[in-house]
Amino acid sequence: MGLSLVAYLLLAITGFYIFQSRQHRHSAFRRLVEAHFLIGGAMLGMVLLLLAIGIAGTLGHYGTLGHSEHLAAGLTAVGLVSLSAWSALQISPQRPWARALHLSANAALFFGFAWVSWTGWLVVQKYLP
C-alpha cells in the first residue's frame, strides 16, 4: 500500500507540472505525460495486485469475504483508480469532460486511500498481539 501512496504523490506532482507545462508550452511536456502515464499504470497494477492478495488472503483465512469495512474501502479505491486511468485515456480537446472527471476521481481517491489505509490498519491490529 505504501508504494501506491508514493505513486499517488508522484502522480500529483507530475500532474501539476503537466498542467504548468501545458499552460506555458514547455518543451518537457511530452516527457512529463509519459512519466505520468507510466506511474499511473504502475499504480493501477499495484492496487489490482493488492486487491488480489487481499481477496486470496481473506478467503484463505476465513473462507468468506466481508469480515470488515476494508473490503468496501478497497473496492472503492480500486474503482477510483480504474476510473482515473480510464478517464486519463479519454482526455483530448474533443472530450473536455474527461480532464474534469480525471481530476475529480483523483480528488476522491485521496479520501479513498485514507479510508482503505485506516480500515487496513484496523485489520492488521487484529493479527498483532
Tens digits of per-residue pLDDT, 16-26? 988 888 777 77
Q: What angle do CA 75, 77, 78 make, to 5 degrees?
A: 65
Q: Which of 121, 111, 113 is nearest to 5 (CA)?
A: 113
Residue 129 has pLDDT above 70, yes or no: no
What would the grid cell of residue 48 be?
Answer: 489490482
Q: Which of 75, 73, 72 is nearest to 83 (CA)?
A: 75
Render pLDDT for 63-118 as a digit per residue (tens, 0 to 9).
Answer: 888 888 999 999 999 999 999 999 999 999 999 999 999 999 999 999 999 999 99
Q: Which of 127, 128, 113 is nearest to 57 (CA)?
A: 127
Which amino acid, one-letter code, is at 19? F
Q: Give this prediction's pTM.
A: 0.90
